[in-house]
Structure 1
Amino acid sequence: MEQTRFTPDLDLDGLSSDEAFGILGNEIRLDIIRVLWRAGAAYEYDDGSDAVETVSYSELQSEIDIDDNGKFNYHLSKLAPHFVRRTDDGYRLSSAGKQIARTVIAVSGAESLDFSRELDESCPLCGAAVAVTYEDQWLRVRCTECYGLFGDQAPVGTLFLTNYPAAGLTTRDSEQALAAGLYRCALDITYLMYGICCECAGQISSSVTACDVHEVENGLPCDSCGTPFPVWADMKCDTCGFAKRLPVEMFATGLVLATELTGNPELDIDSPALDEAIELLQNSVETSVSTKPLRVSLAIEVETTEFTLTLDDEMNIVEFDREPRTDTVVS
């Protein structure tokens, strides 16, 4: 079968992606990872510590409930050394094994979540009712009446859309989930803008497309490009395929929000709210496009600070400055 972006031609530490899928495509091997994870058989911390628990061969075999020594040893050996490590004291998960376990835990429980409801707020675009839904690990906020922010690039009415692990919703209400979702999006975008994949640390390839005849009237998307925004960017990891396609303004404001949130200890994870983020996008961002070569320049005002950002046709940051706003008074 021809390779796709989901199975790149890689050979990391002697293990290709196809081989990794093959190793993990077995119930017994996944059960071994599950037992080691539940037993805490891994390095306790992900950096700076040698503290580690292990499970003995006999205890692990008993938990897996396989009497055939040859069969059990065969499957255990397939997991080593990439997902399971053998030590003098027993067996533990490798870093990759921990990542597999964490992924399973993060996506578990989605079918039992009922997160669909109308929110106690109105659409910042038209004032109509706003609803939130959760489906296929995606958290979506939509207006019940207008086109939303994305035109034909997303389901009608979409105001916010993000991949969201099910485990992250079990202890949060809708407002807390949206705040965390915005924060995660801003950090994802920041990684992408600096050429790093937040999923696998791979390199990012990017491109920019601009609508030459962009025209928006009465809040409707442009007839030519089908969206309210004239410039869009595609950013995709060359290794694992993690990708986002968004208006350039959203990439820029995401970077600015992350810069503000991580640079100001007085801000907490509950800021900004969705309506504040949309208001920032609509009223506090000025965008200009020049050609030969293509440059997208943005000026973004946030509270007492003005950010200026210039991007090229591959979303490289040509300029990024921040200055105190001269039109605000600090009491």
Structure 2
Amino acid sequence: MSDTGSGAQPHAAATRPHDSAVTDAFGLLGDGTRLAVLLAIWEAHDPADEDNSLSFSEIFERVDYDDPGNLRYHLGKLEGQFIERAPEHDGYALRVPAQKLVRDIVAGVGDHDERLEPTPIDQRCPFCGAGTKVSYREGILFWACHECDGMTPGRDFASFDPPGPLAAVSFDPAGLDEWTAEELRAALAVRGRRRTREQFEGLCPTCSGQVDARFDWCDDHDPDGCHACGLRWRVGARFRCRTCENYGGASPRRLALFHPAVVSFYDDHGVSTRFRADEYERAKAVYDLVLDHEVELVAEDPVRVAVTARHDGDAIRVTFDEDVQFVDATRG
């Protein structure tokens, strides 16, 4: 049914969370006062300012603590791992790990209570023509059709939540209030494109580990409701991080847009493949382009997968190898 890929399984990183340095770092944050200290320094943080430190008295006032000696004890515990002394400014500044931690807190990472109930948007399902909706739960932003099986024909879509999935991507809850429902659909596309590109280029977007890639395909595929694989497309790229085992997938029709020759092909026809998170109509147009790409499993040994894009009587064909890397681009 598929190419099995490289099979590299270095699990040594799985022991890292048990290393004393890592457990000690998490242990340091077990006291609420220490988190309050990091947040207090963060409030004074200005990326454009050379001095991002906060004096002891300012921290004491912002944290609203009643014991200066005990606060110094907490600062001493944080120093080195999360904060550093800034003698020239007579204060304390956040180290990079602490900045990342506070950004995660501000973004709402770990908050699984935020929800967005299914909200209709002005985009029809590409498979049945029904209206589609965006929703959010447990840190995932969904785009789905509630009238058909979406990207999973052949599976019991009634068991999916939401049903009829079309796309999904991890999304920090702090961003939910920043966008309209349509903009969330575009933001989903931007986030998904960025994460897929990093995986395609061998970098895990979650832990910065190395990513292995391969193609899977269905030998007996029925695009209208495949009970063999349950998926809409016969051929799919699969990505897996060697370190954190983060897993992802993408259709090669979408990966074709990562080749500069394909971008130039569309540019030559006055069609842009670029869009921002606040450009909903552009995001829809690019999605429609991708849907029209033709995918062919050219060979199984060695694996070759080709994608053809057409516009105004012109065409370009790009070919991938078994490691989901471009090996050829032919126009005409």
TM-score bracket, shorter-length normalisation: 0.7 to 0.9
Say if 1:189 and 1:254, in contact at 8 Å, map to a contact too: no
Q: Does 1:56 align with 2:55?
A: yes
State the distance in 2 between where 1:254 and 1:29 align: 46
Question: Which residue in the other structure is 2:323 paired with?
Answer: 314
> How many Å apart are 1:144 and its aligned residue?
1.8
Say if 2:114 and 2:137, in contact at 8 Å, map to a contact too: no
State the distance in 2 between where 1:29 and 1:67 align: 14
CA distance 1:279–1:99, change in 2 (3 Å): same
CA distance 1:224–1:173, change in 2 (3 Å): same
State the distance in 1 between where 2:101 and 2:95 align: 10
How many aligned residue pairs are there? 306
Counterpart among 120, 127, 130 of residue 128 in structure 1: 130
State the distance in 1 between where 2:14 and 2:316 align: 37
CA distance 1:51–1:153, change in 2 (3 Å): farther
Matches within 5 A, 1:134-149: 134-149=136-151
- Structure 1 gaps, min length 5: 327-331
State the distance in 1 between where 2:213 and 2:317 align: 20
Say if 1:187 and 1:254, in contact at 8 Å, map to a contact too: no
Question: Which residue in the other structure is 1:224 paired with?
Answer: 228
Say if 2:149 and 2:165, in contact at 8 Å, map to a contact too: yes
Q: Does 1:237 align with 2:241?
A: yes
State the distance in 2 between where 1:35 and 1:126 align: 52
State the distance in 1 between where 2:126 and 2:326 align: 32
Larger RCO (CA under 8 A, 6+ residues apart): 2
State the distance in 2 between where 1:19 and 1:99 align: 17
State the distance in 1 between where 2:314 and 2:40 align: 51
State the distance in 1 between where 2:304 and 2:83 align: 48
Tell me how large the CA RMSD over aligned residues is.
3.6
Say if 1:137 and 1:163, in contact at 8 Å, map to a contact too: yes
What SS does the aligned partner of 2:249 have?
A: strand
For 2:58, give the aligned amino acid. E
CA distance 1:285–1:85, change in 2 (3 Å): farther
Say if 1:24 and 1:30, in contact at 8 Å, map to a contact too: yes
Say if 2:116 and 2:136, in contact at 8 Å, map to a contact too: yes
Question: Which residue in the other structure is 2:211 paired with?
Answer: 204
Question: Which residue in the other structure is 1:117 paired with?
Answer: 119
Per-residue CA distance 1:198-229 (angstroms, 9 max, x = gap): 3443321233322222233xx22x12111122
Question: Which residue in the other structure is 2:7 paired with?
Answer: none
Counterpart among 178, 190, 202 of residue 183 in structure 1: 190
CA distance 1:303–1:111, change in 2 (3 Å): farther
Q: Does 1:38 align with 2:38?
A: no
Say if 2:54 and 2:93, in contact at 8 Å, map to a contact too: yes
State the distance in 2 between where 1:161 and 1:68 align: 48
State the distance in 2 between where 1:32 and 1:134 align: 31
Per-residue CA distance 1:86-121 (angstroms, 9 max, x = gap): 110211111111111111111278756645322234
Question: Which residue in the other structure is 1:291 paired with?
Answer: 300
Counterpart among 10, 33, 36 of residue 28 in structure 1: 33
- Structure 2 gaps, min length 5: 1-9
Question: Which residue in the other structure is 1:102 paired with?
Answer: 103
